[in-house]
Amino acid sequence: MDPIDLYLSALALGLGVFVALWPVSLLRRDASVVDAWWGPGFLAGLALVWSLSGAPDHARAVLLLALVGAWSLRLGFVLMRRRLAEGEEDARYRDIRKSWGLAFWWKSLFIVFVLQGVLQFLVALAPLAGLLAAPAPLGVLGIAGATLALLGLAVETQADRELDRFKATAQAGALLTTGLRAHVRHPNYAGEIAFWWGIWLIAAEAGAWWAVLSPLLLTLLLVKVSGAAMTGDHLRRSKPGYAEWAARTPAFLPGLRRKTRMPAE
């Protein structure tokens, strides 16, 4: 298949499933179902392109499939476990639903479901490009990328483990400020950013430098749009000790402590 057709196949798969989840969200009155496909959708799209391109078995393709597969399945499991445990719509979507009012039901199709399909495809460009690149031995850059991706995955895993353990016994209004969060406010997002920059390095070594759009977009989303910004705003409104903790704890990089109170993420 032509490479453009392969990319479009991945986009069609992701969008198709996201759109199919929209009526489910209406029936359940819970837009959180969109999260069910965010993580696993990356692996599904990559696996589809891998199979349609002849199932290449060179080291770079296998490495990208393994890393993205581990990230996708872990994230999908964590998000679904949380939804089942909490039994209610994620706070992010509750806030959007409240601000949009009665129009949320149809606006959510485009702003929540279709948009996430497009974003998922754009973020997935790095592993897709690396998979479709001409076979070449893994070098220093690829190994460095794999190391960074594994480090990011480990940080994400530990951060989510600490948060889930805390939520199981915490009282209302309590704020997690120990473990990784004693050093940074958003260790899970920091780990995810590291993971995707590592994936890009693996792809870039094979010539797919242009796919830098993938980690750049992911970083922008997590820092300024749907990640730390929304999480920080929610914590600021719901956790009494957030302002003091935010003033002394950097958002993503340990050691970059603020000397003054930070009013916003």
Convert the pLDDT of each residue in 110-156 to its tens digit: 999 999 999 999 999 999 999 999 888 899 999 999 999 999 999 99
Model pLDDT, residue 22: 96
Q: Contact, 194 vs 152, CB < 8 A?
A: yes
> What is the C-alpha to C-alpha distance for residues 81 and 160, in angstroms, rounded to an integer?
11
Model pLDDT, residue 100: 87
Q: How far is CA 152 from CA 67, 126, 157, in A?
A: 11, 16, 9
Convert the pLDDT of each residue in 30-61 to its tens digit: 998 999 899 999 999 999 999 999 998 889 99
Model pLDDT, residue 242: 87
Model pLDDT, residue 259: 45
- Residue type present at position 25: S
Model pLDDT, residue 152: 97
Handedness of CA 11, 29, 102, 232 (dihedral sign): negative
Q: How many CB atoms lie within 10 A of CB 228?
A: 20
Model pLDDT, residue 253: 86
Q: Contact, 196 vs 123, CB < 8 A?
A: yes
Q: Contact, 71 vs 195, CB < 8 A?
A: yes
Q: How many CB atoms lie within 10 A of CB 135?
A: 11
Model pLDDT, residue 264: 41
> What is the C-alpha to C-alpha distance for residues 133 and 46, in angstroms, rounded to an integer?
13
Looking up tokens 């149809």 gives 106
Model pLDDT, residue 94: 85
Model pLDDT, residue 42: 97
Whether pTM exceeds 0.95: no
| Mean pLDDT, the chain cut into blocks of 10 residues (265 residues total) | 93 97 93 92 96 92 96 92 79 84 91 95 97 92 98 96 90 89 94 97 96 96 86 83 88 66 42
| The pair of three-digit structure tokens given for residue 158, joined into one six-digit string | 């530990």
User: What residue spans define the domains of the chain?
Assistant: 3-248
Q: How many CB atoms lie within 10 A of CB 30?
A: 18
